[in-house]
């Protein structure tokens, strides 16, 4: 794993691109390199975290054997040895200097071109390629968006790299905050691609590459070399029907995905929460290892947030070498001021805190860790799929005008309605914190389409454009515009999450948390072969009888007793609600002060102060919305 950075402009200084790369030294503490072409005005910088081929033969920037391509690469190509063997069958086989995957990819460029090399690569990566003969720059990103890549203009310079903070060392870097991006951040708790927090700077979409021939011209459109919607459409057209075939094929693919991600010349382990996804990954690792696999978990003193005992039981059954850390509230709270610097853009998924603490613990023992992320999106694991479908089916039975009248009543009287429900409904139908949930229900009752319904379901500040000053009203992102024969509403919800929530939230969280401590995190569920196979599964093998991930549960029965993992889903969260009323109250009060908000001029203080007042008084639970604002304000403090 590594960090990449570069710029293309009128003047080139080798020391400048090296200073830019130094800003992201955490992504690559094992070495650095740079390459410049003063005549062309291009500069490439690299920070190396050595995983495969620890020798100097893996140093970057790397020149292709044909001499035409210069490559800087962040990530891993897991099938690079297969690609080497394919190249060695021809009469133009390269003469290898080492055994790094970057050298493999650089050689592939000369044989098959950029698109041909990308289509053969199975991995996670973000890369920049300078072609000397044509003076063109190509930027590319892996299929599912595991590795980040920003690019765009600031002044007369084109910037590109792994993290925005790297650009800050360049004298031309004077970015302007994009207010529309702030609105989208408040809506989703992350800045959705292709936006970034800065005007004129974009995130390259997953599975895309962009070829730039003029650094001063408007940026060309990027091109897809793989498409998740096409993969979904192809899978739905040939959905399997034989359960034995489903399990056998998926098991083989997952086993192989784990196997190739265990290749490393450094110590390796796995995150283990004790849930279905991480347990299956750890089990497949242990089944293919000659020694106990290292597994890691963090636990919390608060019982409602603690999965450590479940992870411990799984580790004991599998026979892994398990390490556990109990995190105190003081440990977690001490991290809060560091969050803006780590995530580099406003980011408000509060599970970033335990993810970072887990990464930090893991890095004390290993350099690479496998993760169970992606299982929920691929196999129907989120409760919102079940609850969302059930709610929409009920709502859609009512005419829209009737729904809107009912929604108005719910919005006006959430507490009385909640009190009546608590008295009337049996215990099995009781909903925790119903008064806080009713306004969200009222909001989705007003929508006219399935697409708008799901966008509202996953939104935080649904009226974010009215909170961010100087923005235009727009729906923004998270579109369910997918049509395919046999597609269900749950299929559309999962595909929406694969295109948005997964790369822009989950994978951003994992990348920044792990890279901040120089740990490489690998995600076997996101092998594109597994993703494509997941779309061939009949819907009942994902969700049936209100239970998700049915096929993963069935696979896991081969390795652990069902009793070890058969429990309600627990999110990887922290007690933000209680912290804002306790140890973080003064910090929050300062960031949410009316005078401060007015002085900055980005957010309307009135709705924010109203929510903060209700939360402090214990009248309503607004911690999720407040955390979004607090993370923007904390980011603004450290970046503006």
Find, among 208, 203, 204, 253, the residue nearest to 226 by Cα: 208
Buried b (16+ CB within 10 A) or exposed e, 610-620: ebbeebeeeeb
User: Of all helices (H) and strands (E), which one includes residue 576?
Assistant: helix 576-581
Specify the long-range contacts of residues 213-220, CB closer than 8 Å, at least 24 apart. 213/134, 213/135, 213/136, 213/137, 215/8, 215/9, 215/41, 215/137, 215/157, 215/158, 216/156, 216/158, 219/151, 219/152, 219/153
Query: Is position 420 annotated in a ligand binding site?
Result: no
User: Hey, is 440 helix, strand or coil?
Assistant: helix
154 catalytic residue (yes or no)? no
Q: Is 244 exposed, middle or buried (CB count within 10 Å of its CB: 0-12, 13-18, 19+)?
A: exposed
**Which neighbouring-strand residues pair with 262?**
none
Q: Residue 316 contacts by C-beta under 8 Å, 6 or more apart in sequence?
A: 322
**CA 518 to CA 360: how far, in whole Å?**
9
**Beta-carbon neighbour count of residue 590 at 10 Å?**
11
User: Of all helices (H) and strands (E), which one includes residue 489?
Assistant: helix 489-499
**CA 503 to CA 213: how far, in whole Å?**
28
What are the angstrom distances between the C-alpha of 342 and each of 178, 353, 540, 633?
20, 11, 40, 15
Contact 344, 185 (CB under 8 A): no
In this structure, the strands spanning 2-8 and 42-48 are antiparallel
Query: Is position 372 annotated in a ligand binding site?
Result: yes
In this structure, the strands spanning 268-271 and 201-203 are unpaired
**Beta-carbon neighbour count of residue 381 at 10 Å?**
22
Contact 46, 20 (CB under 8 A): no
Q: Residue 423 contacts by C-beta under 8 Å, 6 or more apart in sequence?
A: none
Which member of 2, 39, 66, 423 is catalytic? Answer: 2
- Binding-site residue set: 101, 298, 371-372
- Binding-site residue set for ATP: 298, 371-372
Catalytic residues: 2
- Binding-site residue set for L-glutamine: 101
């Amino acid at each position: 794993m590594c960090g990449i950075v570069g710029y293309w402009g009128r003047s080139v200084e080798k020391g400048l691109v090296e200073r830019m790369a130094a800003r992201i030294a955490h992504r690559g503490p094992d070495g650095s390199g740079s390459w410049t072409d003063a005549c062309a005005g291009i500069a490439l910088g690299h920070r190396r975290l050595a995983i495969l081929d620890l020798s100097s033969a893996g140093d970057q920037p790397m020149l292709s054997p044909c001499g035409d391509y210069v490559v800087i690469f962040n990530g891993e190509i897991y099938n690079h040895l297969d690609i080497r063997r394919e190249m060695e069958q021809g009469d133009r086989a390269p003469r290898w200097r080492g055994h790094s995957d970057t050298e493999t990819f650089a050689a592939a460029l000369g044989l098959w071109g950029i698109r041909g090399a990308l289509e053969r690569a199975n991995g996670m990566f973000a890369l920049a390629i300078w072609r000397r003969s044509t003076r063109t720059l190509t930027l590319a990103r892996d299929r599912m968006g595991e590795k980040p890549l920003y690019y765009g203009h600031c002044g007369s310079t084109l910037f590109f790299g792994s993290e925005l903070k790297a650009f800050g060392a360049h004298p031309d870097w004077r970015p302007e905050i994009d207010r529309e991006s702030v609105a989208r951040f408040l809506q989703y708790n992350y800045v959705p691609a292709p936006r970034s927090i800065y005007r004129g700077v974009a995130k390259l979409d997953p599975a895309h590459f962009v070829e730039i021939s003029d650094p001063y011209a408007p940026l060309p459109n990027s091109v897809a070399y793989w498409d998740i919607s096409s993969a979904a459409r192809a899978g739905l057209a040939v959905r399997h029907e034989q359960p034995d075939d489903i399990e056998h094929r998926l098991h083989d693919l997952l086993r192989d995905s784990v196997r190739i991600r265990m290749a490393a010349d450094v110590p390796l382990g796995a995150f283990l929460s004790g849930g279905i996804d991480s347990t299956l990954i750890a089990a497949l690792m242990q089944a293919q290892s000659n020694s106990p696999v290292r597994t890691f978990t963090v636990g919390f003193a608060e019982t409602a947030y603690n999965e450590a005992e479940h992870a411990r039981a799984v580790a004991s059954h599998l026979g892994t070498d398990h390490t556990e850390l109990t995190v105190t509230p003081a440990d977690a709270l001490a991290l809060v001021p560091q969050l803006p610097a780590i995530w580099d853009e406003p980011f408000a998924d509060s599970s970033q805190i335990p993810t970072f603490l887990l990464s930090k613990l893991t890095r004390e023992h290993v350099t690479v860790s496998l993760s169970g992320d992606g299982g929920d999106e691929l196999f129907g694991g989120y409760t919102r799929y079940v609850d969302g479908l059930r709610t929409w089916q009920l709502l859609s039975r009512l005419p829209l005008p009737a729904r809107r009248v009912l929604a108005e009543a719910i919005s006006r009287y959430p507490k009385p309605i909640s009190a009546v429900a608590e008295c009337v409904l049996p215990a099995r139908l009781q909903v925790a914190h119903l008064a806080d949930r009713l306004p969200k229900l009222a909001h989705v009752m007003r929508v006219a389409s399935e697409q708008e319904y799901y966008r509202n379901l996953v939104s935080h500040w649904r009226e974010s454009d009215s909170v961010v000053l100087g923005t235009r009203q727009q729906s923004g992102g998270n579109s369910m515009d997918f049509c395919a024969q046999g597609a269900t509403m749950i299929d559309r919800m999962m595909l929406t999450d694969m295109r948005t929530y997964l790369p822009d939230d989950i994978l951003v969280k994992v990348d920044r948390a792990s890279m901040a401590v120089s740990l490489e995190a690998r995600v076997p569920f996101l092998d594109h072969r597994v993703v494509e196979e997941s779309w061939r599964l009949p819907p009942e093998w994902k969700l049936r009888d209100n239970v998700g991930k049915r096929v993963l549960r069935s696979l896991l029965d081969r390795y652990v007793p069902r009793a070890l993992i058969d429990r309600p889903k627990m999110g990887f969260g922290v007690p933000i609600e209680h912290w804002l009323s306790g140890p973080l109250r003064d910090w929050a009060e300062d960031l949410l002060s009316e005078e401060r908000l007015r002085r900055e001029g980005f957010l309307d203080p009135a709705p924010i102060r109203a929510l903060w007042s209700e939360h402090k008084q214990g009248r309503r639970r607004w911690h999720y919305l407040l955390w979004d604002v607090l993370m923007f304000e904390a980011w603004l403090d450290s970046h503006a």
